[in-house]
Amino acid sequence: MNIIEKILAAHSSQESLKPGDIVDVTIDTRAARDFGGANVVKNLIDNGLTIENPKKTIFTFDCNPGGSDQKYAANQHYCRQYARENGIRVYDVDAGIGTHLAIDNGLVWPGSTFVSTDSHANIMGAITSFGQGMGDQDIAAAWAKGAVWFKVPASVKINLMGKRPSGLSAKDIVLNLLSIFGANKLLGNSVEIYGEETEKFTLAERITIASMGTEMGAIIILFPTSHALLTELNLITGKDYQSVKADPDATYENIFDIDLSKFVTMVAKPGHPHDDTSIETVRNQKIDSGFIGSCTNGRIEDLRAAATILKGRKVAPGVVLKVVPATDAIWTQAMDEGIIQVFKEAGVMVSNAGCAGCAAGQVGQNGPGEVTISTGNRNFEGKQGKGFVYLASPAVVAASAVAGFITTPDQIPEHPALFHATGKGDVLQGAKGKKVRVAKPTIVEGNVWIIPKDDIDTDMIFHNRYLTITDIREMGQYTFDNLKGFEDFAKKAKAGDIVITQKNFGAGSSRQQAVDCFQSLGISCILAESYGAIYERNAINAAMPILTFNPEILAQVDLQPGDAVRVDFVTGNLTNLRNQKMEQINKFYDAQLAIYQNGGLL
């Protein structure tokens, strides 16, 4: 078996597993954040469920560690009260990012399993652990039963060949990989990374690369356990762990040999983490702000890299640089090493530990038209604010903040770029009762919305500014209001309508609302060529009908926008009622049908 099959088999009743197998997987540590945590609790209470093992269950308040938003503050306190009543540990607003806390506190280890409402829970692949971001119902089930169902993914192997170029950061490595594989070429796969140079990667470097597996559409990026990793984990946690590696005869769907020596310093252009380019193509782009932090680049190594560049320098006039360590322990270490003092003398804003720019509740957001260079893992439109976000390494962000424009540490000018008045005034414009099970139809009819776009992410479907909404009846009105060309979808859609779209629908975060908003509108089903891994689970678990199809089907049935169609979930028959042409799409698989007929996972 390969790595993911080994871990899942060890946490199920199976001696061996293969891709496509569906098993109940015991979860070693089950987490919920302040984002999603209140809905997890609500699901448990509404369904009369209790906690299977409080010692394996935690809350992490990392999205809005300041509680600066009233709804976040209310949700956090709601979770605290539930934790007190049930003996659940809370890593509160002073602690930091939940995934990092789990690693540093030994709550996960090589070969373990971890789930969280954090879509980057697959960061655990950095330590050869299985981690998954899941929606509110999945997490509630894990808390109540100690296990969740999972479909074993196919695995691919990436061999990084050759020597690592001098000065090439881990962020550059993962941006190079994103430029090669995009957002959906590895969709739904478990990815294992090998190579002589990878054996030397530090924990922080592994974390940086693993944390962007979600942006590549992968289930997880796994590094086999190395001696260096085990040594570093022992220093951090004081615990000894066993090595976890694939068998020599493990099977992979694909094997890619990639020349690491050809990798260059990269940035991701605004809008998509996989829209990557050599920094030379955007050098001298004027910036308004910079951000260093997130689960991707908030470790002490990242802060040291930035401090090396900022020492004795100042952030350019008019530019704001914000730094947010991943955990409070890292913050304290940075203070002890004098790094915080370097930041303050350079004119940097340093915030308490947390997710920061990736979440609307903490520093790192930008305003309309603002150009930011960030170490985050996402730069979807609207994700980190209303401006434009480039992704880069901590060293490049620090150098750019000093220069006032995008540049590298070796090309920081003697005098920074300044802002000047443009003379253009227009630049400034700018809990319910318990559910009753009802019979669910397996054949539906409705008019179609054809949305010809790949990689529609969850921010386009249901923007993060609405994440505090927990009443499904309020969600429908915001559906697609961040998707260009379909901002008026919610006003025009009618109950029974069917959405048809392309690859990787629902890419991005673990938010359940991106599914529930369609149920709120009464959309009868969604057909896509493929789905983001977390989104697919969320829809199935919420009994929202989703099916997949081959793109040539639309032409074969001569499907046009507004046509009425009939979809049979059991047989996979798709019929255009205008011309009675019928073709086959992929029907519900057994587990999906069972959950659907049950009215949902819970």
Report the SS3 class of residue 40: helix
User: Is residue 426 domain-resident?
Assistant: no
Claim to verify: residue 159 and residue 185 sit in the same structural domain: yes
For residue 430, the model assigns a pLDDT of 46
CB atoms within 10 A of CB 441: 10
For residue 339, the model assigns a pLDDT of 98
Claim to verify: residue 24 and residue 116 sit in the same structural domain: yes
DSSP state of 327: B
Claim to verify: residue 170 and residue 251 sit in the same structural domain: yes
Yes or no: say if 507 and 456 are a contact pair by the CB < 8 Å rule.
yes
pLDDT, mean of residues 49-53? 97
**Selected residue with higher pLDDT from 73 and 336:** 336
User: Is residue 114 domain-resident?
Assistant: yes
Q: Which of the four pLDDT bands, split at 50, 70 and 90, describes residue 275?
A: confident
Q: Is the pLDDT of residue 429 over 60?
A: no
CATH code for the domain in which residue 480 is found? 3.20.19.10
Claim to verify: residue 392 and residue 463 sit in the same structural domain: no
Claim to verify: residue 196 and residue 289 sit in the same structural domain: no
Q: Is the pLDDT of residue 475 over 70?
A: yes
Task: Calculate the alpha carbon distances from 243 to 2, 110, 224, 231 in Å.
Answer: 14, 7, 8, 11
- As a whole number, the mean pLDDT across the chain is 94
Q: 251-267 pLDDT, tens per residue?
A: 999 999 999 999 999 99
User: Is residue 424 domain-resident?
Assistant: no
For residue 361, the model assigns a pLDDT of 56
Q: 406-420 pLDDT, tens per residue?
A: 999 999 999 999 998
Last residue of a domain, one of 418, 452, 470: 418
Q: Is the pLDDT of residue 106 over 90?
A: yes
User: Is residue 198 domain-resident?
Assistant: yes
Reading the block at residue 274, the tokens are 């996989």
Yes or no: say if 206 and 496 are a contact pair by the CB < 8 Å rule.
no
CB contact set of 44 (below 8 Å; sequence gap of 6+):
50, 51, 140, 143, 144
Task: Calculate the alpha carbon distances from 575 to 86, 322, 345, 519 in Å.
Answer: 51, 54, 67, 22
For residue 380, the model assigns a pLDDT of 82
Q: Is the pLDDT of residue 68 over 90?
A: no
User: Is residue 162 domain-resident?
Assistant: yes
In Å, how far from its chain's centre is CA 335?
Answer: 29
Last residue of a domain, one of 207, 231, 262: 262
- What is the full DSSP assignment across 87-127? T-EEE-TTTB-HHHHHHHTTSS-TT-EEEES-TTGGGGGGG
Say which range, 24-28, 71-75, 208-212, 396-400, has the weakest mean pLDDT.
Answer: 71-75
User: Is residue 161 domain-resident?
Assistant: yes
Q: 316-326 pLDDT, tens per residue?
A: 999 999 999 99
Task: Calculate the alpha carbon distances from 81 to 49, 162, 468 in Å.
Answer: 16, 53, 18
DSSP state of 435: P
**Nearest-angstrom CA–CA distance, 547 and 80:** 38
Report the SS3 class of residue 598: coil
CA end-to-end span of the chain: 32
Cα-Cα-Cα-Cα torsion 564, 567, 573, 576, nearest 10 degrees, comes to 0
Claim to verify: residue 340 and residue 356 sit in the same structural domain: yes
Last residue of a domain, one of 262, 278, 308: 262
pLDDT, mean of residues 545-572? 96
Q: Is the pLDDT of residue 427 over 60?
A: no
Claim to verify: residue 322 and residue 253 sit in the same structural domain: no
Claim to verify: residue 310 and residue 225 sit in the same structural domain: no
Q: Range of 282's domain?
A: 266-418
CB contact set of 145 (below 8 Å; sequence gap of 6+):
52
Q: Is the pLDDT of residue 135 over 90?
A: yes
Report the SS3 class of residue 204: helix
Beta bridge partners of 582: 575
CB atoms within 10 A of CB 210: 31
pLDDT, mean of residues 369-384? 87
Claim to verify: residue 500 and residue 592 sit in the same structural domain: yes
CATH code for the domain in which residue 367 is found? 3.30.499.10
Task: Calculate the alpha carbon distances from 82 to 59, 62, 143, 431 in Å.
Answer: 10, 18, 13, 14
Predicted structure pTM score:
0.84
> Which of 528-561 are b and which e, b meaning 16 or more Cβ less than 10 Å from the residue's Cβ?
bbbbbbbbbbbbbbbbbbbbbbeeebbeebebee
CB atoms within 10 A of CB 337: 14
User: Is residue 437 domain-resident?
Assistant: no
**Nearest-angstrom CA–CA distance, 173 and 179:** 10
pLDDT, mean of residues 191-195? 97
Claim to verify: residue 158 and residue 20 sit in the same structural domain: yes
Neighbour order of strands in the sheet with 546-548: 546-548, 525-528, 498-500, 443-450, 564-568, 573-576, 581-584
Claim to verify: residue 283 and residue 232 sit in the same structural domain: no
Please state the domain count of the chain: 3
Q: Which of the four pLDDT bands, split at 50, 70 and 90, describes residue 67?
A: low
For residue 426, the model assigns a pLDDT of 54
User: Is residue 44 domain-resident?
Assistant: yes
pLDDT, mean of residues 173-196? 96
Q: Is the pLDDT of residue 149 over 90?
A: yes
For residue 359, the model assigns a pLDDT of 64
Task: Calculate the alpha carbon distances from 459 to 331, 382, 384, 508, 591 in Å.
Answer: 30, 7, 10, 8, 28
For the stretch 396-400, contacts whose Cβ atoms lie closer than 8 Å and that sit 24 or more positions apart, written own/partner, are 396/169, 396/265, 396/267, 396/279, 397/290, 397/291, 397/292, 397/306, 397/321, 397/373, 398/290, 398/292, 398/305, 398/306, 398/307, 398/309, 398/310, 398/321, 399/309, 400/287, 400/290, 400/373
Question: How much of the chain, in percent, has pLDDT values that exceed 90?
Answer: 87
CB contact set of 429 (below 8 Å; sequence gap of 6+):
none
Nearest of 221, 387, 381 to residue 291 by alpha carbon: 387
Claim to verify: residue 274 and residue 254 sit in the same structural domain: no
